[in-house]
Chain A
């Protein structure tokens, strides 16, 4: 376990010239007939696109990084690579410690099984030791406020109950690196404030967090670094206030009909690669 104070030499996350490529021919739902068609007219249109390219940054223990950007910028793809769900096609990625992803809550749930069985199943999918998961089950059940419903099949749960259980499982395992994707507004107001408190608690316990959000107040309030992604590239990196400002300016310009290429270059706001003291360096294009 890393000591909570003073970032050590070993970063929690180290991403270097990361590239993730989607093959457009494969990502369609294929039938044999379609692939014969594809063979026939091979060279129509681009065969692949880069969801992420030349993305570099570093997150030290105790830091929390906000990833912001417009829709389709590659934010969720970035989280998927960090979680190990996608493999990099280029570059390298290094994560030190146990990762937990809160990408979409309740993803692995089996509707026919009880909440209790699903806790075990989720733990097994995440690779958590069985005895460890059994020990954590009472805490998960309590935090999710499921009461006696924990032994009822998940298919009888409301969507709020489902999300609460998912949140409780993902945050119960005390990960070293927590990945969050727009899930902070879970359930009703009471649970929302409780889950926010839990996230803040996890952040305080010196664990690295990567948060993908459209909520700029979260980026400003809870993160000490931010990167702005656009079309798979890091456009700006540094202090959340500055990066949010760049993002808002560029979104504003885009709404006014300007192309992103004609927008002011990022160096104007003083966010050049590696300029931040605590170790986030962005390899700009």
Chain B
């Protein structure tokens, strides 16, 4: 009896899909559940505005207040000589808010949905996707104070290059999506990632040219060329500089650097999708 069972088990053994099949299936699932992603993002937006006096106004106030903190610190206390520093730093704060809030949502998005994951069959990949897309919403709201600041306070910085913002944002979206997928999947197995993420995000921000410019790093790396190499490994070096080229400087971004980030992000995203799908069936057992 035991032998027959073994033979039958072998005959019905489940097959594991290949990489290409995984990607196609994921794309199909996301397409069929795009409305779920929209609902999840909308629910998140609704909740954030709820129970506060100012409601949705917080979407605009939040990045402005962050900017104010850095302006006080860098422009007033450290006396930076950079012209239009509030605009300079806002170009980086806005995309960073998107990235950091997406990653912060991603590390909790699967573990907090424990009950529904154990009760309903749905593609779990929509959860980190909603986290990444929710960040896009906050980024879009943040463009309101950005444009207000640019056209009212610093009109001489405004240029036609700003229409290319969606291009840079797209590159960031691909990168963010890859990171959120990976972060959400890993957190299921190691809850520590949630605690680590806060600190990694903070140091990442300071190592990226957000509060300072890439020109200052260039001055440093004149003595130690390896600093420049390390610095340029960070996708946010190219991303922040590109945003700044479009908004603050008014010139074309460095297409080669931006293209490299897009390529790296695409590779990361494919790897993240494959890893996520590989561990996805275990979620309902582990959480």
Q: Give me the interface of A with B, judged by CB distance under 8 Å.
A: 16-17, 19, 22-23, 26-27, 29-32, 35, 54, 80, 83-92, 99, 101, 103-104, 107-108, 110, 112-113, 117, 120-121, 124-127, 130, 283, 285
Contact = CB atoms under 8 A, between A and B. Distances in A.
Interface stretch (B33-41, B173-181, B218-226, B268-276): B33-41
B5 A54 contact: yes
B1 interface: yes
Given A17-B8, A26-B282, A86-B284, A31 B190 contact: yes
B12 A16 contact: yes
A155 to B, nearest CB: 11
6 contacts: A27-B286, A83-B120, A85-B118, A88-B14, A125-B120, A127-B33
Which bracket fits the contact residues of B? 20 to 34
Contacts of A107: 115-116, 118-120
Given A91-B12, A121-B39, A285-B1, A104 B281 contact: no
A32 B190 contact: yes
Interface stretch (B43-51, B69-77, B89-97, B101-109): B43-51
Nearest to A89: B14
From DSSP, what is the main secondary structure of chain B's interface residues?
helix
Contacts of A283: 5, 8
Contacts of B13: 90-91
Interface in B197-215: none
A85 B5 contact: no
A16 B10 CA distance: 11
Contact of B116 (A26, A108, A117): A108
A112 B12 contact: no
A90 B1 contact: no
Contact of A19 (B9, B35, B120, B190): B9
Contact of A92 (B14, B121, B281): B14
Contacts of A17: 5, 8-9, 12
Given A19-B9, A86-B281, A90-B12, A126 B118 contact: no
A92 B284 CA distance: 19
Interface in B94-140: 115-122
Contacts of B191: 29-31
